[in-house]
Chains A and B, each alone.
Chain A
Amino acid sequence: MRIFGTLLRRELAAFFLSITGYVIIAAITLLLGLSFVVLIAGLGTDPFTTPVTEMFYSTFYFWLILLLATPVITMRLFALEKSSGTFETLMTTPVGDLQVVAAKFTAAVIFYMATWLPMLACLLVVRHFANQPGALDAGTVGGMYLGVFLTGCLFLSLGCFASAISRSQMAAAMISFVLGVSLFSLGFLAKSIPPTAQWQSRALSYFGLFDQMDDFARGVVDTRTVVFYAGATFFFLFLTLRVVESRRWK
């Protein structure tokens, strides 16, 4: 646990004490700002029917953040250490493979969640000027952040896996982007194909990222969705761990 803490601190420092970290934060803040503009424009014209949080999701900027930012956040994790050789110094200390994977993933999740904090400010601005306390209750905001957290975990675990299997950061970013886009397309497919009783359709519905996100934004937490996201995240982290261990059986 002490080693995990040490590793986590170093990974967080690598995010927050580097220029790349702030470039990512700036980019995400810009995208959030754009979706905020869209939201404000929507508030100005339409009557107020959907929760404010849901409007954030309905803009494509949200998905852009998920698809573009997560590969950039995770690409460094293993690939940089491998290409610079520090992976060798790291793995020849008495640390466990699981500790390394867990620390890197946790640091990525913390950084990712921190980049979402500006949205909270946007919501507070809406709340202040809308003069309508009901527009923004704890349930919808909490549900929304849970959604951001769960989808983020899944995409970050994809990125961890991609970074573990490649030596170059570019390759890692591309692989995780391709994996992310595939998942995203499955979500599209789930939305466009009408649901039937067949098992294929039901299986596909688990990948319906949009509908699930709508639920989260309304403050509805469906256990099946949570289990799906958590399970998929653990699956990819497990694969990452195996890849890290694999140098011992090669």
Chain B
Amino acid sequence: MIQVSNLTKRYAGRTAVGGISFSVARGEIVGLLGPNGAGKSTTMRILSCFLPATSGTVRVAGFDVFHDSVEVRRRIGFMPENNPLYPEMRVREYLKFRARLKGLGWRRSRERVDTVMEQCGLTDVQRRIIGQLSKGYRQRVGLADALVHEPELIILDEPTIGLDPNQIRSVRQLIKSLAGNHTVLISTHILPEAEMMCSRMVIMFDGKILAADTPENLQKLMQGSSQIVAEIDAPSDDLRAAFSQLAGVGQFDVSAGADHFQRCALTPRDGQDLRPAVFMLACERGWKLRELTRSRHSLEDIYVQVTKPDEEEES
């Protein structure tokens, strides 16, 4: 659906996007992740034909964004950052206007406007003036606008920014429900959001792609160093002796916890899951086990690890 190769965008004296390449398949929800100023919005603006690329090619649904700009624009629904709307228009009127602009006929636009208003929960506010709506509703108007012409590709730039947790949840659900029928590209700097919604993530930093994979694979990348924490009621020397003989244990640390329990932290040598082995050990020795967890690396760790070195270099 999207093929980006060697995309570079330079503003006067500053490189916003430096030679990135990625592709998105039909029906995927892909998250463009990165701190502010990483080049996410610039990439999206180029994809939506608003800005030209300095070099490199971008193809959407097989059309070049520069040469076949109109064909590309027909196929995308774009919601820019901060979701700009005309505040003086009414919700229904605005969506109708946008549907007509996107080339829908009179009857078709009326049908689609009704459908997307239902989909986005706007039917109750359809006669209200956009400027008087709450931020959550406005965001939904923006989403409804992106959906109104049933585009193949939906590009949403920070769709949940500035919303309260309930609104964020409903927007996320709405986006998730689009998978399959539409290809969705979302930018965000909030990790759990990308983790929750996206089938694939592209992590950008300083105009470059640092990693691009599924959330699971990105986690797997990190699992080599994922720790096991167990709380066992046993003498610490016995525990140390047992762990040093346990296969697959790279490093371990035993420290006194509360109520006689020892808190043990084990690091596997080759990325295997140590939890069953620890459980079996406790069973054999008749030790009481009250906690056994693997500290699952969240994307936060990946994100911090991937983006941190550069930040340190900068400072």
Residues of A within 8 A of B (CB): 2-3, 6-7, 9-10, 13-14, 17-18, 84-86, 88-96, 247-250
* Size category of the binding interface on chain B: 20 to 34
Interface assignment of B85: CB less than 8 Å from any CB of chain A: yes
Residues of B within 8 A of A (CB): 45, 48-52, 66, 70, 73-74, 76, 78-82, 84-86, 88-89, 97-98, 100-103, 145
Q: In the complex, are the beta carbons of B76 and A86 less than 8 A apart?
A: no
Are A93 and B101 CB-contacts (below 8 A) given A88-B45, A88-B50?
yes
16 A-B pairs whose Cβ atoms sit less than 8 Å apart in the complex: A13-B89, A14-B86, A14-B88, A85-B82, A88-B45, A88-B78, A88-B80, A89-B79, A92-B49, A93-B73, A93-B98, A93-B101, A94-B73, A94-B103, A247-B50, A247-B51
Chain A residue at minimal CB-CB distance from B84: A85
Q: In the complex, are the beta carbons of B74 and A94 less than 8 A apart?
A: yes
Q: In the complex, are the beta carbons of A92 and B50 less than 8 A apart?
A: yes
Chain B residue at minimal CB-CB distance from A83: B84
Residues of A within 8 A of B100 (CB): 2-3, 6
Among B78, B82, B88, B145, contact of A18 (Cβ-Cβ < 8 Å): B88
Nearest 8 CB-CB pairings of A with B: A85-B84, A6-B100, A94-B73, A92-B48, A86-B84, A92-B78, A88-B80, A94-B74
A243 CA to B309 CA, complexed, in Å = 42
Residues of B within 8 A of A92 (CB): 48-50, 73, 76, 78, 80
**What's the dominant secondary structure at chain B's contact region?**
loop
A96 CA to B49 CA, complexed, in Å = 12
Among A3, A9, A17, A85, contact of B88 (Cβ-Cβ < 8 Å): A17
A96 CA to B76 CA, complexed, in Å = 16
Among B52, B78, B88, B103, contact of A89 (Cβ-Cβ < 8 Å): B78
Residues of A within 8 A of B86 (CB): 10, 14, 86
A248 CA to B145 CA, complexed, in Å = 24
Are A91 and B50 CB-contacts (below 8 A) given A7-B101, A85-B82?
yes
A248 CA to B54 CA, complexed, in Å = 10
Q: In the complex, are the beta carbons of A89 and B84 less than 8 A apart?
A: yes
Q: In the complex, are the beta carbons of B74 and A84 less than 8 A apart?
A: no
Q: Whole-angstrom distance from the CB of B211 to the nearest CB of chain A?
A: 28
Among B52, B70, B85, contact of A94 (Cβ-Cβ < 8 Å): B70
Chain B residue at minimal CB-CB distance from A248: B52
Q: Whole-angstrom distance from the CB of B60 to the nearest CB of chain A?
A: 12
Q: In the complex, are the beta carbons of B101 and A95 less than 8 A apart?
A: yes
In this complex, the member of B76, B86, B102 whose beta carbon has the largest number of chain A beta carbons within 10 angstroms is: B86
A95 CA to B103 CA, complexed, in Å = 9
Are A6 and B97 CB-contacts (below 8 A) given A84-B84, A85-B82, A88-B84?
yes
A2 CA to B106 CA, complexed, in Å = 10
